[in-house]
Structure 1
Amino acid sequence: MEEHMLPCMNKQLFGVECPGCGTQRAIAFLLEGEFWEAFKMFPAIYTLGLFFILLGFHLFDKKRNYYKLVIASAVLNGAVLLIAYFIKIYSNTVTN
């Protein structure tokens, strides 16, 4: 499966990982049942899953209003994504 993954264009062009680097590998780890490895690869994988589940409810269940939950999960996902990215950047600069 890994040979069919798309490369990160940001990393190829600029040599710097983007905030989404590791998403494909994290999904592959989830499919293999490696939940901790998926989290280590891309910490926002679980909040991203929550976001898509709530978004699906919002799109398909018109009887209830999921708007506030979708927005809250998007903000939570963005916060986790940025915090994890800055931790990754900081840890790479400290070790190098």
Structure 2
Amino acid sequence: MLPCFTKQILGVDCPGCGLQRSLLFLLKGEFTSAFLMYPAIYPMLLLFGFLGLNKLYPFKHSNTITITLMVSTVGFILTNYILKFI
């Protein structure tokens, strides 16, 4: 796995720490472990899945759906990042 340069240089986790391990857990079929490692994995997958599907089959309210998925993904990432320091 790729090392986290932020953690190596500054000694603190970055907002993306745990994403690689979470994807690895998903590939192994360990869905609960993937969520516990990086809770933003599922909203992120929904966002990327929707963007790919929207590219093939455009939806009527795709902008609203995309913005909602983006806000929820960023919300999960920031909440997880803040909770790491508590």
Q: Whose radius of gyration is greater, 1 or 2?
A: 1
In structure 2, what is the equivalent of residue 47 of structure 1? 43
Q: Which residue of 1 aligns with 2:67?
A: 71
Residue 30 of structure 2 corresponds to residue 34 of structure 1:
yes
Unmatched 5+ stretches in structure 2: none
Structure with more relative contact order (C-alpha pairs < 8 Å, separation 6 or more) = 2
| Aligned-residue RMSD, C-alpha | 1.0
1:84 equivalent to 2:64? Answer no
Alpha-carbon displacement from aligned partner over 1:64-94 (angstroms, at most 9, x marks no partner) = 231211111000000011011111111xxxx
- Structure 1 stretches of 5 or more lacking a match? 91-96
- The alignment's TM-score, normalised by the length of structure 2, stands at 0.92
- How far residue 55 of structure 1 moved from its aligned partner, in angstroms, is 1.0
Q: 1:23 aligned to 19, 22, 38, which one?
A: 19
Say whether the 8 Å CA contact 1:8–1:21 is kept in structure 2: yes
Identity %: 44
Distance across 2 between alignment mates of 1:55 and 1:27: 19
